[in-house]
Amino acid sequence: MNDDPLVALKDIYLPAAPAWWPPAPGWWLVAGVLVAGLIWLTFRAYRRWQAFAPIRSAKQLVDDVFNSDTTDILVVHQCNEILKRLLVLTMNQSQLAQESGDAWLQALDRIAGCEEFSNGPGRVLGTDRFAPNQVIDRTGLLSCVNALLSQVKPPPTARGRDA
């Protein structure tokens, strides 16, 4: 007989590695939270994109008006109409519906955060556009209008409470 007790021992067998599927319940919870978060973020991004659609449309219309071959005074009238429609109809600023002249220019200055409408090239959007032989600075007016459009934000009801 063999006196060595180690001979009777068997080899060590490691247990099988755990399978990656199905994941543990904690991973299901993490996956559910991530999916819910992605759905919520997608919904918020879509709502924000929709809320800014009128502003994007107004920018495109202004660019089209300024790139057209129409007369300067027609450009001013169309630009004024675009701004009035954007602010009154889509941005829910109905108090501006009756504004004209200097009050309209001051409202535009307040929205744009500048004085280019009351004291600059944007003055032609007031009563100056009806003056005979009016000289219009198209590039100055375009920069004023673009500055205003970059400051316009949709009403909170259109973009959600915390957007």
CA distance 105 to 126: 6
Helix intervals (H) in 9-155? 25-51, 53-67, 72-85, 101-112, 116-119, 138-151
Burial of 143 (0-12, 13-18, 19+ CB in 10 A): middle
What is the C-alpha to C-alpha distance for residues 140 and 123, in angstroms, rounded to an integer?
10
Cα separation, 51 vs 24, whole angstroms: 41
Q: What is the DSSP letter of 89?
A: I
Taking the CA atoms of 158, 48, 163 and 86 in sequence, report the sign of the dihedral they define. Answer: negative
Enter the DSSP assignment of 153. Answer: -
Note the pLDDT of residue 163: 47
How far, in Å, CA of 2 to CA of 89, rounded?
101
∠ CA(56), CA(95), CA(104), 5° rounding? Answer: 75
Q: Give the residues of the chain that fall short of pLDDT 50.
A: 163
With contact defined as beta carbons under 8 Å apart, do 127 and 101 qualify? yes
47-89 pLDDT per residue, tens: 999 999 999 999 999 999 999 998 999 999 999 999 999 999 8
* Structure confidence at residue 160 (pLDDT): 57
